[in-house]
Amino acid sequence: MLTLLDLFSGCGGLTLGSKMAGFVTELAVDIDPILSSSFGANFPATPFLAADVASLNSARLKALLPNGVSGVVGGPPCQAFSGMGKGLADDPRRSLLGEFFRIVSTVKPAFFLMENVPGLVFPNNRPVLDAAINSLGSSWEIIGPIILDASDFGAPTKRRRVFVFGFDKRKMRVPTLNDLVESDAYRVSVEDAIKDLTVASAVAGATDLWRYGSDSVVSPYAQKMRSSSGQFTGHQLTEHKPSTLERFALVPQGGVDPVGKYKRLSWAGLCPTLRAGTGSDRGSYQAVRPLHPVENRVITPRECARLQGFPDDFIFHSTVWHSCRMIGNSVSPIIAEALLRNIRNFLKGPSDNEML
């Protein structure tokens, strides 16, 4: 059985992607009670630890993972490295990058996968990454950092992120970069992703419960995302002021509202990177959501989730704000699945199908 330790799991984007790729998460860890609040609902069989990863010393990790794991995955908090934020050198979250690599050294998996924002490789941040990588032993073969876009792997969002991969040469065959990024995914548009939701209707008498409409054209992507029950949550429509609606009506597909900087999605295009905003500890700033291609409103959490690659039966927070924070902070399950499937191929022996 191929097993993982998922650090900074949030709502579970990497957890879902790894599950679809055939891995079992032995333990997920996150300290944020809001961003991880729905984790148990989505992964009831996965052990979850609400803790600061800095508290995971060798003895505690051994007790939590007595049989070790095949891999360690995670996306350390990115705000300290983001080009969108202040990127302060004294931001305590910068140290969490080193904690990820410390835990890799302690747990000794066969591989690791780390995701972060492109700002991590900016000149002022790169030394932090290099120092963390250099803390690993000589048995590790490192690939990256490399910037990958989720849209190249079948997600309908233009989401560029830095990935770093590491492989213990003593425990598995080492893939090449081409092996890791191989994908036969087709390009998925905004229309493919969310157009069928325009005819969804609220379930009478229920709170935040929706059912699919009788749309005769449902794309293969949307069909894959739909829940088997025919119902879903998280599709609350935002009510805007009349003056705001008038302003939105003037924004064409692909255009930008000059006042609020809302980008109007294009049916034929990709969704721009969905941002997370901040929690109450950082000022409670809400990230600007894109405008729907034809309706004069921002997109709903469920539409955000579809565009990020989450299926309709995935549960988020009961509020719009925190649901969108969860999605904006997550790794797209689609790119996670693709990368981990490619890694899985190298966890097999060179001449047979036996897992190492």
CATH number of the domain enclosing 57? 3.40.50.150
Task: Decide if 352 is inside a domain.
Answer: no
Task: Decide if 298 is inside a domain.
Answer: yes
* Same structural domain, 179 and 42: yes
* Same structural domain, 7 and 117: yes
So what's the pLDDT on residue 34?
A: 94
* Same structural domain, 260 and 293: yes
Parent domain of 83: 3-185+332-347
* Same structural domain, 212 and 80: no
So what's the pLDDT on residue 78?
A: 56
So what's the pLDDT on residue 65?
A: 97
Number of domains in the chain: 2
Contact 72, 53 (CB under 8 A): no
Task: Decide if 355 is inside a domain.
Answer: no
* Same structural domain, 178 and 208: no
Task: Decide if 353 is inside a domain.
Answer: no
* Same structural domain, 63 and 206: no
Single out the catalytic residue among 78, 271, 304, 324: 78
So what's the pLDDT on residue 60?
A: 96
Render pLDDT for 89-146 as a digit per residue (tens, 0 to 9).
Answer: 554 556 889 999 999 999 999 999 999 999 899 988 899 899 999 999 889 999 999 9
So what's the pLDDT on residue 18?
A: 98
So what's the pLDDT on residue 355?
A: 42
Tokens of 37: 């609040």
Dist. CA 338–CA 150, nearest whole Å = 10
So what's the pLDDT on residue 349?
A: 47
Task: Decide if 356 is inside a domain.
Answer: no
* Same structural domain, 207 and 85: no
Task: Decide if 198 is inside a domain.
Answer: yes
Dist. CA 289–CA 307, nearest whole Å = 12
Task: Decide if 226 is inside a domain.
Answer: yes
* Same structural domain, 21 and 94: yes
* Same structural domain, 176 and 194: no
Spans in the chain with pLDDT lower than 70: 78-94, 277-286, 348-356
pTM of the model: 0.91
Clarify whether 78 is annotated catalytic. Answer: yes
Q: Strand 201-202's sheet: what is its strand order?
A: 201-202, 210-211, 231-232
* CATH classification at residue 225: 3.90.120.10
* Same structural domain, 172 and 211: no
- How far are the Cα atoms of 107, 171, 202, 346, 356 from residue 352, in angstroms, in the given order? 27, 15, 52, 11, 10
* Same structural domain, 42 and 165: yes
* Same structural domain, 181 and 200: no
Task: Decide if 354 is inside a domain.
Answer: no
So what's the pLDDT on residue 287?
A: 76
Render pLDDT for 33-50 as a digit per residue (tens, 0 to 9).
Answer: 999 999 999 999 999 999
So what's the pLDDT on residue 90?
A: 52
